[in-house]
């Protein structure tokens, strides 16, 4: 592990890893043995949970199947939620079903936003819940459920306030007292009062948290003093495929059952030292050396218990459990409620075994059908547009002409690239969409390269303040009605850099609801790998294919 800017996060991960490292195999619970690959998960008997009355009647079959599986699993269950498949709705129903069984649940995520999102959806169900975390970092909509606010409004808070007031009175009296003996007595009283204050506040926090059936915190927040000695029947980790495994162990250290939800086919957590190895207690499991192995472990029913002695920090617990135990421990959500079916088609075929289905409400919707006035144009009636800049007239700009080592070319932190001509092309398409009536707030421009992002921002941000411009990595988890993707790379060597990472492209192509526009050089891109070749073939067959005139953009 590399020390993070947030010292508390780093310290809690390190402390947790130290505890795991100090354990012997005889100390492991059966849950730990399963997670480490020393034992296989207990067989899942769906009949053991009986007939379920679902609270949300709109849940689809794959969501219901995932919930049944998670309820029946003894140690571990993975819920695979591809883009737009209603993973959060599924987790809310699952939490409510666990509450019906009178179980106590700890819900965690890698970020405050991921946790607050669940609090917002869970709060209307009037369940006894508490959100652990500093109020300054929480969404305003969930503050009423924060531990600090609940403490202030609890019955025990009055007693704590009385002691605090007595402390303030004693402190004020010190300044008026000249006698050394009297001062010493006041200091002695203050010491006792402060001790009593800490004890009562701790008891108040403990009672309040204990009385809540659902406790929510970030992964590192679960290691705070508020949850010390608290017991939970189930730990749920949302966005588990975006969390470091060391983070996940903070709430899992005393767990007996865990549900991990996420999508391992989107981007993993960003690790600057991607080759950094970790070993020890959590070092079992096969590390996916490339994207193909990520896909293989998702499909291989005979994965077995791999005994490789380490992996990269980029390998998440979700990945490792899948590699250890295979898809038998996973259920995938298959109906997506975001994308037009033509936008969905390629990622479904290539990454999700052609299992994704577009819900009826979204499969044919276009920009021209937005619930406000939008003119029908060649752009607003098309769900998928590809501007193919092949031919060398839209060259990328390389910051440093010197030849870089190959391993640096594929690094997320390599020298950033830009493409002036492609930026003009993107700007023109944005203007066309907004000119047809599409609101800037409904449009996003994304690109894998920070230099291109800076260039596009300088061209568009002042003109369209509502327009969102973001890197592909920064846009994960987001969605817009229309998304324009600038691929940037265009060179005679057919070098594609980290466009070769299919999980990054999966994020880019699954953000839009009604309109996806790709701008790129098919000759360069198709030379990257087989996945990129198949994507270019798909776009040429299925997209509204356009060949822009470089001369026109040079004039502008």
pLDDT above 60: residue 83: yes
CA angle 60, 63, 69 (to 5 degrees): 140
Question: What does the DSSP 8-state code read for residue 96?
Answer: H
Are the C-beta atoms of 147 and 217 separated by less than 8 Å?
Answer: no
pLDDT above 60: residue 345: yes
Better pLDDT: 150 or 20: 20
Residues forming a β-bridge with 544: 385
Are the C-beta atoms of 416 and 453 separated by less than 8 Å?
Answer: no
CA–CA separation, 290 and 308 (whole Å):
16
Three-state secondary structure readout of 471-538: ECHHHCCCCEEEEEEECCCCCCCCCCHHHHCHHHHHHHHCCEEEEEEEEECHHHHHCCCHHHHHHHHH
pLDDT above 60: residue 490: yes
Report the topology of domain 7-128+213-332: Rossmann fold (3.40.50)
CA–CA separation, 63 and 66 (whole Å):
5
CA–CA separation, 505 and 541 (whole Å):
19
Would you state the structure tokens that stand for residue 364, as one six-digit string? 């044919």
Kindly list the distances between the CA atom of residue 240 and the CA atoms of 115, 297, 338, 446, in Å, as whole numbers in the listed order. Answer: 12, 17, 21, 24
CA–CA separation, 211 and 204 (whole Å):
11
CA–CA separation, 248 and 504 (whole Å):
23
**Is CATH 3.40.50.300 correct for 335-555?**
yes
Q: With bands split at pLDDT 50, 70 and 90, how would you rate the model's confidence at 265?
A: very high
Q: Report pLDDT for 32.
A: 96
Q: With bands split at pLDDT 50, 70 and 90, how would you rate the model's confidence at 147?
A: confident
Are the C-beta atoms of 247 and 110 separated by less than 8 Å?
Answer: yes
Better pLDDT: 308 or 177: 177
Lowest mean pLDDT among 158-162, 180-184, 524-528: 158-162
Break the chain into its structural domains and give their ranges.
7-128+213-332, 335-555
State the pairing for strand pair 417-418/397-398.
antiparallel
Q: With bands split at pLDDT 50, 70 and 90, how would you rate the model's confidence at 410?
A: very low
Q: What is the pTM of this model?
A: 0.85
Q: Report pLDDT for 6.
A: 64
Query: Roughly what angle, to the nearest 10 degrees, separates helices 291-299 and 317-325?
Result: 50
């Amino acid at each position: 592990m590399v020390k993070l800017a947030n010292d508390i996060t780093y310290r809690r991960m390190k402390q947790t890893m130290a505890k795991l490292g100090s354990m012997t195999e005889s100390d492991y619970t059966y849950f730990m043995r399963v997670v480490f690959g020393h034992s296989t998960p207990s067989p899942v008997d769906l009949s053991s949970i009986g007939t379920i009355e679902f609270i949300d009647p709109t849940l689809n079959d794959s969501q219901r199947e995932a919930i049944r599986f998670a309820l029946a699993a003894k140690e571990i269950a993975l819920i695979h939620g591809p883009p737009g498949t209603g993973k959060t709705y599924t987790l809310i129903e699952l939490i409510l079903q666990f509450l019906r069984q009178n179980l106590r649940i700890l819900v965690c995520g890698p970020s405050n936003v991921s946790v607050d999102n669940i609090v917002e959806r869970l709060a209307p169900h009037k369940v006894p819940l508490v959100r652990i975390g500093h109020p300054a970092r929480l969404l305003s909509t969930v503050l009423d459920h924060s531990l600090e606010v609940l403490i202030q409004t609890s019955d025990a808070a009055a007693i704590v306030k009385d002691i605090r007031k007595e402390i303030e009175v004693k402190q004020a009296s010190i300044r008026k007292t000249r006698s050394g003996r009297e001062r010493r007595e006041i200091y002695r009283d203050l010491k006792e009062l402060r001790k009593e204050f800490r004890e009562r506040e701790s008891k108040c926090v403990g009672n309040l948290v204990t009385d809540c059936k659902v406790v929510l915190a970030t992964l590192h927040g679960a290691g705070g003093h508020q949850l010390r000695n608290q017991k939970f029947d189930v730990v749920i980790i949302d966005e588990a495929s975006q969390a470091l495994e060391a983070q996940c162990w903070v709430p899992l250290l005393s767990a007996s059952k865990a549900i991990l939800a996420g999508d391992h086919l989107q981007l993993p957590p960003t690790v600057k030292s991607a080759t950094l190895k970790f070993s020890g207690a959590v070092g079992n499991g096969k590390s996916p050396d490339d994207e193909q192995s990520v896909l293989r472990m998702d499909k291989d029913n005979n994965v077995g218990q791999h005994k490789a002695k380490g992996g990269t920090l980029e390998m998440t617990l979700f990945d490792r459990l899948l590699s250890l135990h295979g898809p038998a421990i996973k259920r995938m959500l298959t109906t997506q409620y975001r994308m037009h079916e033509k936008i969905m088609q390629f990622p479904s075929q290539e990454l999700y075994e052609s299992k994704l289905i577009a819900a009826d409400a979204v499969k044919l919707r276009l920009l021209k059908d937005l619930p406000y006035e939008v003119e029908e144009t060649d752009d607003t009636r098309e769900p998928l547009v590809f501007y193919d800049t092949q031919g060398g007239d839209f060259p990328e700009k390389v910051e440093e002409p010197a030849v870089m080592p190959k391993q640096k070319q594929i690094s997320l932190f390599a020298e950033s690239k830009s493409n002036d001509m492609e930026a003009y092309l993107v700007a023109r398409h944005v203007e066309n969409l907004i000119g047809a009536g599409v609101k800037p707030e409904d449009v996003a421009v994304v690109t894998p390269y920070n230099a291109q992002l800076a260039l596009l921002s300088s061209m568009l941000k002042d003109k369209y303040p509502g327009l969102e411009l973001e890197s592909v990595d920064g846009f994960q988890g987001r969605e817009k009605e229309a998304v324009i993707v600038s691929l940037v790379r265009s060179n005679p060597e057919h070098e594609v850099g980290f466009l070769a990472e299919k999980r990054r492209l999966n994020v880019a192509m699954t953000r839009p609801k009604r309109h996806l526009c790709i701008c790129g050089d098919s000759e360069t891109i198709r030379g990257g790998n087989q996945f990129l070749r198949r994507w270019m073939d798909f776009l040429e067959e299925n997209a509204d294919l356009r060949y822009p005139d470089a001369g026109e953009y040079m004039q502008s």
